[in-house]
Amino acid sequence: MTTEVLIYIILAGIAALILALFQYAYKSKRTRLKAILAMVRFFTYFFVLLLLINPKFDKTTVYSEKPNLIVAIDNSESIKHLGQDENVSNFIESIRSNSELSDNFNLDFFQFGTNVGPLDSLSFSDTQSDISKVFSSLDQVYKNSKSPLLLITDGNQTFGNDYEFVSRGFKQAIYPIILGDTITYSDLKIQQLNVNKYAYLKNKFPVELFLTYSGSSNVNTEIIITSGNATVFKQPLNFSKSENSKTLQLNLPATRVGVSSFRATIKPLATEKNTVNNSKPFAVEVIDQKTNVAIVSSITHPDIGALKNSIESNEQRSVAILKPSEFVRTKDNYQLAILYQPNNTFREVFEALDATKDNRFVITGTQTQWSFLNRMQSKYSQEITSQSEEFQADVNSNFGAFIINDLDFGSFPPLSSEFGEFTVNSPYQTLLFKSISGFTITEPLLLTIEENNQREAVLLGEHIWKWRAQSYLNSRSFQEFDNFLGKLVQYLSTNQQRRRLTVNYESFYNGNSDIIISAQFFNKNYEFDNKANLEIILKNEQTETSTTLPFVIKQNNYQVNLSGLIPGNYAFTVRANKGEATRSGSLTILDYNVEQQFLNANVDKLERIAEASNGASYFIGNTNDIAQNLIQDSRYATVQKSTKKIVPLIDFKYLLLLLALSLALEWFIRKYNGLI
């Protein structure tokens, strides 16, 4: 409180006293209650003046802050496979019931497998585990506090980033509770199997196997690859303590079109405890042709490399980068031409494509000669201003040519294009709208045109390489962007009639992966219908049993999750509105559970992350002292803190109460004595 405010308060007291005495000691003619009423009136005036001055006071609050104890439990199938599910449940219960631990820590429980979330109930049913997500997800939540982490896991990760590397950025001490048998048994294992997803008819496709052996004696075995009841490859193998790994590279024939399923098996030892990891299924889709794509350009640009890498991420496609004159000579070798920033050198290219009515994908930018492009075709035209402008993208949820997903285009960098009005003179669909400063305008940024049994796509902007890079930053993978571009290439590579019902699925899935089938349904005007009833009817070809599941709408498509299906071959029919439109197909679910491939806990890695973070590791059978060790660790002592606030007098409710009491008391005294 400043000296100036203190003077105001003193003056307020003097003024309140003068007014009270004036009203009751000077002006009033009754003397019996003058002193009492004057005193009450003094307090009333003083409280009112005090509220008008509203002085401010320092208010200090003292409180105790306990550290957090994060408990993250591995909820994947490998825990149950290793027989540790009951031990985990008992340990969690002991943590919850430890009152001394609760008095010293705020306990927060999480479970993880495919994703990280608050602990609800443990089922040990997650088909995969990503331990790295524990550190990346929880680091942001607890980065400003002392929060040691109890990591209850076997340390076996099936996908995601290396958790040992990610844990280096985690700012808390890590205390792994190691699950699993630490005894080393003799074990043969197919560590990894690499194979291309697609192969071509009458060719051979490569298969790469990484085989490992854990043990001290010399053993003999053999690797066998079968397809159905037929053996397609067999080779004897020898392992020893020093020679404990082998890499096999072989080629298998692709003899028939369609999905071919195989199983690689390494014969187990007589004393082997875990034989699940001795075999691994795989499948290859055999196709009888390959889509050849030509990128035609007379300039060099980073977009061209990005387009080539994106398109060739699908093994069914190959890309050649050609000058316009080279493409004209070899045009018949390609099913699709991508014309990058056309100029006068493209005259023969357009004439050749128009003569055969071949599909094309035109990409324009700041180096496009629009005067030439406007003359060479009449489907669209661009106002020529010799100025450039940058546009971001906004996805059109009603696009009906094929299923698209929003890749968070709003976060993508803008593309550079010609400034001016763009006019389309043919029937078209907008795939991406232009967006300027967050506002979507009606002009297309990416559009498709279908006319006279010919298809064309036009992208009005360069620097698409930045989109692919941003997609990687968003999702840590190029796959989403490559799939988006791949669907556009597939659409342009065929002239099939448009369908009201489109279904997007893979020919085969691993049994431990998410099996998602997506679909789109359009009304008769080819506008996306978000009120349709879609269902899928699946028939297991081995058991002859049928299952019907509904689709649920998600953004601009319908999806159904088939992750609970048993492995096998399935024929399916997707039906819209009880048969208004149908699509049929088949898929194969491979019998492979990655979580059952482990025999031991990954002790070494868990001990390393504990040491690097200044924590400590414990085995699940030796956790009696962990609670006391945490409580006695001086790093996790309860800290007493204080907060200092400047509080105005008007926030004190008691002063308002005293003012009300003084007014009420004065009224009561005057009423009682007949002064009112």
> What's the CA gap between 618 and 180, in Å, rounded?
12
Both 554 and 468 in one domain: the answer is no
* Residue ranges with strand state E in 68-148: 68-74, 106-112, 116-118
Residue carrying the six token digits 């890695």:
605
State yes or no: pLDDT of 497 exceeds 80: no
> Averaged over 302-323, what is the pLDDT?
88
Spell out the residues 6+ positions from residue 205 whose beta carbon is closer than 8 angstroms to its own.
195, 196, 199, 251, 252, 254, 284
Q: Strand ranges (DSSP E) for 399-522?
A: 415-418, 422-424, 428-436, 439-451, 454-460, 501-504, 508-510, 516-521
CATH of the domain at 233: 2.60.40.10
Quote the tokens at residue 234.
């067999």
Q: Which of 91-100, 210-219, 270-279, 452-461 has the lowest mean pLDDT?
A: 270-279
Give me the chain's average pLDDT, please.
85
Q: Do residues 337 and 418 both lie within one domain?
A: yes
Q: Is the pLDDT of residue 55 over 90?
A: no
Among the candidates 492, 510, 529, a domain finishes at 492
pLDDT digits (tens, 9 = 90+) for 142-184: 988 899 999 999 888 888 888 999 999 999 999 999 987 666 6
Q: What is the reported pLDDT for 27?
A: 54
> CATH number, domain at 520?
2.60.40.2950
Which of 287, 316, 335 represents a domain boundary (last residue)? 287
Q: Is the pLDDT of residue 29 over 80?
A: no
State the alpha helices, DSSP H only, in 554-624. 603-612
Total domains in the fold of the chain = 5
Higher pLDDT, 634 or 12: 634
298 and 268 share a domain?
no
Considering only CA atoms, which of 467, 514, 456, 183 is closest in space to residue 306? 467
Residue 394 belongs to domain with CATH number = 3.40.50.880
On whether both 86 and 124 belong to a single domain, the answer is yes
Q: Name the pLDDT band for 643 (thresholds 50, 70, 90).
A: confident
175 and 305 co-located in one domain: no
Residues 192 and 223 in one domain: yes
Asked if 160 and 201 sit in the same domain, the reply is no
Q: Is residue 39 domain-shared with residue 72, that is, in the same domain?
A: no
Question: In angstroms, rounded to a whole number, what is the distance separating the alpha carbons of residues 295 and 305?
Answer: 10
pLDDT tens profile 431-453: 888 888 778 888 888 999 888 77
Are residues 244 and 391 both part of a single domain? no
Q: Could you tell me the sign of the dihedral formed by the alpha carbons of 51, 52, 56, 61, in that order?
A: positive
- Quote the crossing angle between the two packed helices 3-21 and 34-53, to the nearest 10°: 150
What is the pLDDT at residue 574?
92
What integer is the mean pLDDT of 532-537?
Answer: 92
Taken in order 43, 48, 49, 54, is the CA torsion positive or negative?
positive
Tell whether the model's pLDDT for residue 109 goes beyond 90: yes
Lowest mean pLDDT among 84-88, 565-569, 656-660: 656-660
Which residue from 477, 382, 472 is spatially nearest to 434, judged by alpha carbons? 382
Res. 582: pLDDT tops 70 = yes
The Cα 446–Cα 444 span in angstroms is: 6
DSSP summary character for residue 87: H
Confidence tier at 575 by pLDDT (50, 70, 90): very high
Is the confidence at residue 236, as pLDDT, over 90?
yes
- CATH value at residue 632: 3.40.50.410
478 and 346 both lie in a single domain: yes
Q: Last residue of some domain: 441, 475, 492?
A: 492
Q: Are residues 575 and 611 in the same domain?
A: no
Alpha-carbon dihedral sign for residues 97, 101, 103, 108:
negative
Hey, what's the torsion of the CAs at 424, 427, 433, 439, to 10 degrees?
70
Residue indicated by tokens 């990891």: 277
Are 558 and 524 found together in one domain?
yes
Each residue of 363-422: pLDDT tens digit?
A: 998 889 999 998 988 889 888 888 888 888 888 877 777 777 778 888 888 999 888 888
518 phi and psi angles, rounded to 5 deg: -115, 155
Give the residue numbers spanning the domain of 301.
291-492
Phi-psi region of 468 (alpha: psi -120 to 50; beta: other; left: phi over 0): alpha
